[in-house]
Every structure is written in C-alpha cells, then in structure tokens.
Amino acid sequence: MEKLRLGINIDHVATLRNARGGATPDPVRAALAAEEAGADGITAHLREDRRHIRDADMEAIRQAISIPLNFEMAATDEMARIALQTKPHAVCLVPERREERTTEGGLEVAADQTRLAHYIAPLRDAGARISLFVAADPAQIEAASHVGAQVVELHVGPYCDAVDEGRADDAAAELKRVTAAAAQAHDLGLEVHAGHGLSYTSVAPIAALPQVMELNIGHFLMGEALFRGLPGAISEMRRLMDQARAAAV
C-alpha cells in the first residue's frame, strides 16, 4: 500500500490575519512551516468573497513552497482566470455559497456535466491536476469520471461529525458509504483523496482505506497548533495516519 499523503489547508491562518487586518499571521509562513513539518502539499481556498485567502496569498504561497499547491475554488470564470495565472499543481473544484461558514456539501457534478467538462478542459490543458470535491455518492463519482477530473476528494464531513458527536451507528453507516465510494472511484480510474472535518479521533479508519492516497486537513490542525505548535500538530496527525495505514497492511 502506498504511503498516504497529507495536505495542509492554511485558510484559517488568513482568517486570523483578516480578523484584525495587517499582515500577521502570514499564510506563507504557515505554508513553509507545514512543509518543514512534513506536509506533502498545501491547500488554499480562494473564496469569491475573499474571507480568508486573498489573491496575493495564492501567488506568494506558490512561489514560496517547493511542495504542490492545491488551489480550492468555485467553478467560476473569475477563478479560472486566476488559476490559469497562478498555475498551481492542482485545482480542486468545490461548491460555494457566500452565507455558509465552511463548505457544506459536495459539488453537484451529475446535473452539471456539460458545463464542468468545458470548464475543466483549459485548466487540464494548462497542466493543473483536476480534483472534484464530492459527496460519497455513486452518481456524483460516476459523473466525475466523465467530465475530465483525475481526482475525487471525498467529503467525509458527515462521518467526522458522527464520530465527534458520539453517534456510533451513524459513524459506522457513513464510513461504509465512504468505503464504497473510495472503491468505486478507484475502479473508475480516479485517484481518491478525502477531507473535511478530519481530526485525531476520526482519521484512522479513513487513513486505513487502501484506495485513499491523500488527506486534506485544515481547521482541526490550525486549532491544535495553538496548543502544540504547527509542527507538533502535523507530526501527531502524520503519526496517526501512518499507524492506521500500517495496521491496515
């Protein structure tokens, strides 16, 4: 089984910066610290309302780091222009509503296949690896395989919420859905990633899935960094991921 990669989302370093204005804490510094601590990639979501990451952050992060940059964004013309200018390693298309606190669900791919196929094509032609953030839903995964994506990132938030809230039966049911989705995506030739809400408590069963090649984690690790420091928070997550992977083998 291949080593599981860890992508670190640094959005909420920018959230803290923007709460007061000014230049600190610096998302670029966080990205470099995550890289030094062993992250395999950096994820940043440039939202339409710029509530955390800003345009200049994307370019500065891309230039500063030597590991891949995963550019999370809505499938809009504005974001396509910025992505083509920034030239990140990967683009992850996510749904976005301005009133939401965080991404609340997976991308609707099945009902939007023609538009997404045309939207994705120039990004792929420019060299970006295209990922779609989708629910663990067979129809969405099937559609993702038809529109030109190379990767699906499974939305594991419902599973993580059930674990965090002590709803064991619901957690088991959600894990079963994620397990089936990972197998389906892999069989369709898609690389499988997972993210949204993963914590030290919930990560092991997802890390143990053999089809999952990468986890993207942000909010939880930024919170833990207040107490452990960012290197310590990342190191503990890496330990738990590697331990679960080894046990699965």
Residues whose CB is less than 8 angstroms from the CB of residue 234 and which lie 6 or more positions away in sequence, other chains included:
6, 8, 34, 37, 38, 39, 221
45 labelled catalytic: yes
Q: What is the pLDDT of residue 229?
A: 95
45, 52, 186, 193: the active-site residue? 45
Q: What is the pLDDT of residue 105?
A: 74
12, 193, 196, 224: the active-site residue? 196
Q: In this structure, how many other beta carbons lie within 10 angstroms of the beta carbon of residue 3?
A: 10
* pLDDT tens per residue across span 168-190: 999 999 999 999 999 999 999 99
* pLDDT tens per residue across span 189-207: 999 999 999 999 999 999 9
* pLDDT tens per residue across span 61-120: 999 999 999 999 999 999 999 999 999 999 999 997 654 555 567 999 999 999 999 999
72, 153, 174, 214: the active-site residue? 72
186 labelled catalytic: no
196 labelled catalytic: yes
* pLDDT tens per residue across span 47-76: 999 999 999 999 999 999 999 999 999 999
CA atoms within 13 A on the CB side of 69: 25
Could you give the 3-state DSSP secondary structure of residue 139?
A: helix
Beta bridge partners of 41: 7
Residues whose CB is less than 8 angstroms from the CB of residue 229 and which lie 6 or more positions away in sequence, other chains included:
none
Cα 115–Cα 118–Cα 123 angle in degrees, nearest 5 = 125
pTM over 0.85: yes
